[in-house]
Structure 1
Amino acid sequence: MKVLVLNSGSSSVKYQLFSMPDEMVLCSGVVDRIGQLDSSIKHRSSKHNLNKKIEISDHKNALDLIVNLLLDENNGAIASIDEIEAVGHRVVHGGSSFKETIEIDSIVKSRIEELFILAPLHNPANLEGINVAESVFVNAKQAAVFDTAFHQTIPEHAYKYAIPNEFLEDHNIRLYGFHGTSHKYVSEKAIEYLGVKNSKIITIHLGNGCSISAVENGECKDHSLGFSPANGLIMGTRSGDIDHSIIFYLINSLKFDIDEVNKILQTKSGMLGLTGFSDLRDIEAEALKGNSECKLALDMSVYRIKKYIGSYVSAMNGLDCIVFTAGIGENSELMRGLVCADMDVFGIELDESANSSYSNGVSDISKKNSKVKILIIPTNEELEIARQTYNLFNQE
């Protein structure tokens, strides 16, 4: 069975075509920095590798390009769109409606659209991917795999907000958590690596969007993102944790309207608001040149991550392992080093040589005597989505 996985993020679209159940990757790629001047596409297949800068204005443009590459005589992996039997879509917010992978129909799409307000950078892109895929792969089954599903094990005392009870009971206002497909995949890989039944793991997903999870014995116990994917760690364009009274001050005293405030916090804050850059690669480069704003932004981001690590060690009453994953977590030696610096009180001791020499795969970058394992585990949300999609349509 050929399963196409589409992972439409806020500024990128990752895709992989799998042969299932043997999990063979037939082709893969990523469209990066969508809507920016330096947007690009990387595409790999058994026939050819493509890596080029190309103007990509929006997610529809990106998805049309991907479909053309899949069918391309020189770059593609299929001769006909009918070879693809199922398409698995990453969907960020499932609210309280979806707790597991589900086949997509008009009702599912309507519910995803209703949740635009809670994930304005993601759910619209996710739904765009679904609509384009349905129009192209007309004979393929479509599945939605939700970022929120892995976090359904978070206990009530952790997911409930200290606001009047009726807001949870009548309106489902609670912590949902996101990046769940990634946190699930890497935490399972970490448990496999540790070779233990009982484990206390902190998984740190660092990309344009960032989040951190406390995972005990394979179940998520707490998570930094909440009702929407906007709070917690400092992100590319999102502020992360902020005193909610600032919102009222912006509206009541500075006379911003509600939509302007939402836009500021979702698309103009985070690293972009602090430095003028949303991509950490650019921020690190500028910091090395002596840019004080970029240096401070890195310090702020690292400080926030450390605060969450400390709180989750306390919540789980211990720690066996921390995992770095996603674009920044896997590729930024600097960020991993800064996060792990001066953390020996928790038994976290980084091997700087192992950190700087990391290339790929699951890797232990902790010192031999470190009480806590420090792992780099490349996330593979696409494989996890392919597995869940295949299992959905091949249930006995």
Structure 2
Amino acid sequence: MWTLVLNSGSSSLKFAVLDPASGETRLSGLAERLGAEAASMRLDVAGPGEGGRRQTHALNGGSYAEAMRLVLAELETLGLRSEVRAVGHRVVHGGSRFSAPATITPEVLGAIRDCVPLAPLHNPANIAGIEAAMNAFPELPQVAVFDTAFHQTLPEVAYRYAVPEAWFTQHGVRRYGFHGISHSFVAGEAARMLGRPLSGLNLITAHLGNGCSVCAVAGGRSVGTSMGLTPLEGLVMGTRSGDVDPGLHDYLARVSGLTLTQITAALNRESGLLALSGLTNDMRELEEAAARGHVGARLAVEIFAYRLAQGMASMAVALGRVDGVVFTGGIGENSASVRAATLARLPFLGLELDVAANAAAVHGQGGSIGAPDRLPALVVNTNEEWMIARETAGLLTPTAQ
């Protein structure tokens, strides 16, 4: 039996039809540029061996509802419609309300709406995807799996900010953390690769993509993370600044005339690797440009690795004892040079690179990249869709996992 997993973005809809037990994917795809005339959807149908087929369809009008109708039609064509048992949704922000997946009811959907001020770029898109799926699959249970839920185990010393009490009690100003689905998945996979029970491991996991965060995972529970109230805090990212002095807002408002909204938008969309390099937010392109001598690209890559090493070192404070570090996400899984530059700054944690193993761990080839007899360093390929399918199945049928 299959689970349909949906990850709805502000202008995209990523989906997959998976077996929660094995992770086998039967159908997957991506709708892009939703809301624009050029909206389209790519469908990938799995086949035996290296077989399968790919199709691309124009989406007239480009709505979430139209994208869901195309998914439904493909399921009918493949004879899978009756075998899909549930729909699992990635929801970015669940606030303090959700520490586990939740079956979507009107009350739960209302609580997700209440979190829109905390994630104005993400939760409205998640809601649009949920509503489209509920209309397309009214007979199926719909489950919300929250990116923030994994971090609800953070101790108070890790999630509280040193701000007026009323900001916390009345407005929910605290650290929530993100990428929890990925951090949880790769921690479990790392334990399997190390042949040790997750319950006895203290791991530092680094999810590195266009958005980046580190997490301290103790016994399978998040006890520290770099992202905060919003996904803007923490590491340098593709277009996000990461940590800056909060006084920057007032200063720029006075000297530049920019509004607080404009400053925040720039910190989210015009900063990070893009701003440092003056070139691009794509790490692959930056590494190529740096190799050709582009000064801005070299600076961007160096600052990225420096801040990442700082972030990973800070997670050691939350753990006390570190049993291994894990790299994942598009950059974490594919950039041998970023991993090398980061680990070179962390010898005091007992980390040493195996150069050959690190060079080989690209293009989906995960594995150990640490030198023998040193603290384990791993590359683990994340699979958030599979994790969402497992969480969905586990909620609806607790013995399914």
State the TM-score, normalizing by the size of structure 2. 0.87
- Partner residue, 1:97: 97
Query: Residue 16 of structure 1 contacts residue 27 of structure 1 at CA under 8 Å; is this kept in 2?
Result: yes
1:205 match: 207
1:356 corresponds, among 355, 359, 370, to 359
- Judging changes above 3 Å, is the alpha-carbon distance between structure 1 residues 127 and 57 closer, same or farther for their aligned structure 2 residues? farther
Tell me what 2:175 maps to. 175
Identity %: 38
- Is the partner of 1:88 in helix, strand or coil? strand
Aligned AA for 1:360?
Answer: G
What's 1:283 paired with? 286
Gaps of 5+ in 1: none
The answer on whether the counterparts of 1:202 and 1:321 sit within 8 Å (CA) in structure 2 is: yes
Which residue does the alignment assign to 1:192?
Answer: 192
Aligned 1:101-116 pairs, distance under 5 A: 101-116=101-116
The runs of at least 4 consecutive aligned structure 1 residues that moved more than 6 Å come to: 32-35, 37-40, 54-58
The amino acid across from 2:367 in the alignment is: S
The answer to whether the 8 Å contact 1:101/1:388 transfers is yes
Q: Aligned residue for 2:306?
A: 303
Q: Which position in structure 1 is the counterpart of 2:370?
A: 366
What's the counterpart of residue 125 of structure 1? 125
Give distance in 2, aligned partners of 1:186 and 1:273.
30
Q: Deviations over 1:159-213 (max 9, x none)?
A: 1111122322333221111110111111112122223352221000001111000
More displaced stretch, 332-341 vs 203-212:
332-341
Given that residues 214 and 315 in structure 2 are in contact (C-alpha distance below 8 angstroms), is that contact kept between their aligned partners in structure 1? no
- Work out the CA distance in 1 between the residues paired with 2:121 and 2:95: 15
Distance 2:294 2:42 in 1: 29
Partner of 2:6: 6
Conserved in 2, the CA contact under 8 Å of 1:191 and 1:218?
no
Counterpart contact for 2:13–2:129, Cα < 8 Å:
no
Match for residue 242 of structure 2?
Answer: 240
Is contact 1:208–1:235 with CA below 8 Å preserved after alignment?
yes
Is 1:270 aligned to residue 283 of structure 2?
no
Q: Which amino acid in 2 is paired with 1:326? A: G
- Tell me the secondary structure at the aligned position of residue 253 of structure 1: helix
CA distance 1:67–1:353, shift in 2 (3 Å)? farther
**What is the distance in 2 between the residues matched to 1:282 and 1:42?**
27
- Give me the TM-score of the superposition, normalised by structure 1: 0.88
Deviation at 1:42, TM superposition (A): 6.5
Residues 27, 77 of structure 1: 8 Å contact kept: no
Alpha-carbon distance between aligned partners in 1 of 2:280 and 2:349, rounded to the nearest angstrom:
33
**Structure 2 partner of 1:345:** 348
Q: Which amino acid aligns with 1:294?
A: A
Aligned to 2:296: 293
**Aligned partner of residue 387 in structure 2, secondary structure:** helix
How do residues 214-253 of structure 1 correspond to structure 2 at under 5 angstroms? 214-253=216-255
CA distance in 2, matches of 1:123, 1:288: 39
Aligned 8 A contact 2:64 2:128 in 1: no
For 1:55 and 1:268, how far apart are their aligned partners in 2? 30
Judge which range, 202-211 or 274-283, deviates more: 274-283
Task: Map Cα deviations across residues 131-171 of structure 1 (whole Å, 9 max, x no partner).
Answer: 22122222222110001111111110111111122322333
